[in-house]
Amino acid sequence: MADQERTEDLAQLLARLKSEYDVSDSEIARRIGVAPATVNSWVHRKRGTGRGPNRDKLRALAAAFPKFTEAEIFVAAGRESPGPLSPDAEARILELWRGLTEEQQRAKEVEMRALNDMNRTGQ
């Protein structure tokens, strides 16, 4: 979040989203694949055992309501947004990957999977 300052929280962003798209908590929930009670808890800033929506649900929110960018949604949720991956960057990464031994590739895959899991769970 270093590159973007948080100016509104997720509840405020959802209020704007509901107004902009004229949708209810239930409709948001349906579009992103969660229970209406889940969206309601975000709207009313209720925290259960987790930290709010995971990255997959934040991405789903951006995909379902494209007037709101993924970066904007992640910032409102207090989460770091995933870095961009341009075709050039993807090609460079693949070239580096191909230079690794099979054992090194397995080790890097384990490391990358752990980082992705950590990002998804917000820990």
Determine contact, residues 32/60, Cβ cutoff 8 Å. Answer: yes
Please tell me the pTM assigned to this model: 0.68
Q: Count CA atoms within 13 Å of residue 17 on its CB side.
A: 29
**For 48-82, what is each residue's pLDDT tens digit?**
545 678 888 999 999 999 999 998 999 999 888 77
Determine contact, residues 47/54, Cβ cutoff 8 Å. Answer: no
Output the CA torsion sign for 73, 65, 13, 57: negative
Q: What is the mean pLDDT of the chain?
A: 87
Residue at token pair 């270093």: 2
- Per-residue confidence (pLDDT) for residue 1, from 0 to 100: 42
Of the pLDDT bands very low, low, confident and very high (cuts 50, 70, 90), residue 5 is: low
